[in-house]
């Protein structure tokens, strides 16, 4: 009987050891893993312009078009008159690339362009002639690749979206403050600037005659002027139904009032430039400082004071 009990104990112990070994060999999911997984999940808005990017030079074909966005192009492209006011908005076509001897004696690549009248212009790059076809991105200063604008226009024209930023421009390019989280419709995409090539023109659904414009970056950009920072495919109000209608109207119109939470103030004014936390007799006080000079004071998580 004793031997049987010992035998059973050995079997159970072995089984338990096997179980613990199996658990211990299971990979642990750390907080860093979770953060990485979240970072890898990108929204549809974040991926919108991934394909709107400059073409690798090897894909350039004769006739590829570039839009001039600054008359300073005359300083870097041979054959242009700097005083020509018609330079901005001119469309140039890629004709060919050819070698030239740089001041260092290196055989570099020159890009030959043509206007609608057939006049030729030359941009001398600092890229070795034998290397240029391997370049993923070759820029002609003060121009925008028209293919990017056309791609963005096909994606966006006629789209019904929601504006998520208050920093927009009027149709003449002047900076204006807009209500945000408004339903808008995209009218068209035009050439922006060399650094922000996508110019999106839209109107408010509730006010079709009011036209606005934003300039966006192209490709999987890391800067702040990304599509996802200006537009949403879904109504932001749906994600904040717990906020009262009165408070939501303050948020839409970029206003804050005493008693609003930190999240509500962040929705209204955006993230502050600086945050200072101080213990006080009544709990923790928090000071938010904005680039505009405005400051918000929070007590126990609620707005208690605004300063200018």
Q: For residue 113, what pLDDT band results from cuts at 50, 70 and 90?
A: very high
> Comparing 203 with 84, which gets the higher pLDDT?
203
Does position 33 have pLDDT exceeding 70, yes or no?
no
The 8-class DSSP code of residue 156 comes to H
Distance (Å, whole) CA 49 – CA 291? 29
Residues 281-292 have pLDDT tens digits of 777 889 999 998
Distance (Å, whole) CA 199 – CA 168? 11
Query: Contact at 8 Å (CB) between 159 and 227?
Result: no
Distance (Å, whole) CA 68 – CA 146? 10
Distance (Å, whole) CA 117 – CA 132? 27
Query: Contact at 8 Å (CB) between 140 and 111?
Result: yes
DSSP helix/strand/coil, 123: strand
Does position 210 have pLDDT exceeding 80, yes or no?
yes
Matching residue, tokens 């050891």: 17
Q: Which of 66, 91, 73 is nearest to 142 (CA)?
A: 73
Distance (Å, whole) CA 116 – CA 22? 73
The average confidence (pLDDT) of the chain is 87
Average pLDDT for 174-193: 96
Q: For residue 19, what pLDDT band results from cuts at 50, 70 and 90?
A: very low
Average pLDDT for 196-220: 95
Q: What's residue 271's pLDDT?
A: 92
Does position 156 have pLDDT exceeding 70, yes or no?
yes
Q: What's residue 18's pLDDT?
A: 44
Q: Which of 101, 191, 189 is nearest to 142 (CA)?
A: 191
Radius of gyration for the chain, computed over Cα atoms and rounded to the nearest angstrom: 29
Residues 50-70 have pLDDT tens digits of 999 999 999 999 999 999 999
The set of residues, in sequence order, having a beta carbon less than 8 Å from that of 93 and lying 6+ positions away, is 62, 63, 64, 65, 66, 113, 114, 115
Query: Contact at 8 Å (CB) between 277 and 286?
Result: yes
Q: For residue 32, what pLDDT band results from cuts at 50, 70 and 90?
A: low
DSSP helix/strand/coil, 224: coil
Distance (Å, whole) CA 100 – CA 230? 44
Does position 233 have pLDDT exceeding 70, yes or no?
yes
Q: What's residue 26's pLDDT?
A: 40
Does position 16 have pLDDT exceeding 60, yes or no?
no
Q: How far apart are the first and last CA of the chain?
A: 88
What is this structure's pTM?
Answer: 0.80
Query: Contact at 8 Å (CB) between 130 and 23?
Result: no
In the chain, count of helices (H) and strands (E)?
5, 17
Does position 21 have pLDDT exceeding 70, yes or no?
no
What b/e string do you get for 86-103 counting C-beta neighbours within 10 Å, with b at 16 or more? ebeebebbbbebeeeebe
Query: Contact at 8 Å (CB) between 186 and 199?
Result: no
Q: For residue 74, what pLDDT band results from cuts at 50, 70 and 90?
A: very high
């Amino acid at each position: 009987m004793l031997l049987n009990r010992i035998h059973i104990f050995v079997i159970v112990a072995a089984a338990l050891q096997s179980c613990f070994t199996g658990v211990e060999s299971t990979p642990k999911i750390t907080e860093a893993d979770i953060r990485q997984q979240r970072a890898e999940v990108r929204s549809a808005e974040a991926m919108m312009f991934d394909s709107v990017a400059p073409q690798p030079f090897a894909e350039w074909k004769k006739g590829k078009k570039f839009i001039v966005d600054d008359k300073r192009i005359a300083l870097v492209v041979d054959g242009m008159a700097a005083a020509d006011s018609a330079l901005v908005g001119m469309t140039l076509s890629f004709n060919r690339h050819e070698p030239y001897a740089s001041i260092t004696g290196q055989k570099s690549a020159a890009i030959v362009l043509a206007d609608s009248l057939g006049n030729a212009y030359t941009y001398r790059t600092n890229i070795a002639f034998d290397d240029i076809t391997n370049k993923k991105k070759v820029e002609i200063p003060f121009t925008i690749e028209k293919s990017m604008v056309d791609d963005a226009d096909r994606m966006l024209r006629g789209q019904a979206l929601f504006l998520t930023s208050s920093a927009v421009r009027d149709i003449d390019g002047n900076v204006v403050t807009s209500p945000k989280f408004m339903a808008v419709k995209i009218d068209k995409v035009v050439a922006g600037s060399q650094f922000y090539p996508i110019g999106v023109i839209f109107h408010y659904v509730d006010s079709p005659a009011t036209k606005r414009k934003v300039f966006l970056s192209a490709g999987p950009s890391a800067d702040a002027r990304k599509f996802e920072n200006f537009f949403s495919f879904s109504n932001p109000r749906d994600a904040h139904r717990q906020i009262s209608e009165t408070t939501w109207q303050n948020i839409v119109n970029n206003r804050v009032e005493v008693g609003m939470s930190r999240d509500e103030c962040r929705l209204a004014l955006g993230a502050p430039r600086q945050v200072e936390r101080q213990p006080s007799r009544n709990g923790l006080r928090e000071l938010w400082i904005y680039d505009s000079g405005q400051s918000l004071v929070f007590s126990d998580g609620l707005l208690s004071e605004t300063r200018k």
